[in-house]
């Protein structure tokens, strides 16, 4: 199974009534409303563009320039794990904070994007789902073994990420991943309980607060 070359694809522009439409605007909102695939790389391009915009803004306006977070709204049943991990890397490398908001459904690979937000939100009736890596392959026995090894490696990455970013235990994830066709479907309260959601949706439009503790430590060190 070839790895999607996400960095080489052109920005994906969904069609609107007036023609191609990039699902972003001046409010820095990005919408994932479909399957996560190599076409979703437009999100990576947009994160890079906003980071460049903020870098230039700081140069011109200095401290007067206020950085506004990027908000990724997720309504997706999931998709390609490699494509999701590429978006995750872009989020984690972003100097501009990225908020993730689940609404409707947030399943499979979409959960990986959700849990990597600096702040994570969800609407009350969102349905979540986590399961093990799945896929289909063919070819020679060595080729099938190589693809299987790749799947196992991705599953390890996914498991470690969920343990690191949430309150989920490795033992619980192992049980989910080892069951054939096991889909763990859960809802808002469990998403909060297990740390997939970190903030109330009412706070989604609040700008990030400056770290007062860090300032106090600096002032104490000067004394």
| Catalytic residue list | 108, 131
**Structure-block tokens of residue 120:** 């994570």
Q: Residues of 148-175 as b/e, b for ≥16 C-beta within 10 angstroms?
A: eebbeebbeebbebbeebbebeeeebee
CB 114 within 8 A of CB 74: yes
How far is residue 102 from each of residues 23, 38, 64, 151, measured CA to CA in Å? 16, 21, 32, 26
- Other beta carbons within 10 Å of 83: 25
């Amino acid at each position: 199974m070839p790895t999607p070359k996400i960095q080489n694809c052109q920005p994906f522009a969904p069609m609107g009534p007036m023609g191609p439409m990039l699902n972003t605007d001046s409010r820095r909102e990005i919408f994932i409303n479909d399957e996560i695939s190599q076409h979703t790389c437009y999100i990576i391009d947009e994160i890079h563009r906003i980071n460049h915009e903020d870098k230039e803004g700081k140069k011109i306006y200095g401290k007067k320039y206020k950085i506004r977070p990027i908000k990724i709204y997720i309504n997706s049943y999931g998709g390609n794990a490699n494509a999701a991990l590429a978006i995750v890397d872009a989020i984690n490398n972003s100097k501009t904070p990225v908020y993730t908001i689940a609404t409707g459904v947030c399943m499979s690979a979409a959960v990986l994007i959700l849990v990597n937000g600096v702040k994570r939100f969800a609407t009350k009736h969102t349905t979540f789902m986590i399961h093990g890596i799945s896929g289909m392959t063919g070819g020679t026995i060595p080729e099938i073994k190589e693809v299987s090894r790749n799947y196992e490696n991705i599953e390890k990455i996914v498991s470690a990420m969920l343990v690191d970013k949430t309150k989920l235990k490795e033992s619980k994830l192992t049980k989910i991943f080892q069951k054939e066709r096991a889909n763990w479907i859960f809802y808002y309260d469990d998403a909060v309980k297990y740390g997939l959601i970190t903030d109330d949706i009412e706070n989604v439009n609040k700008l990030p607060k400056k770290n007062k503790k860090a300032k106090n430590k600096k002032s104490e060190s000067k004394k």
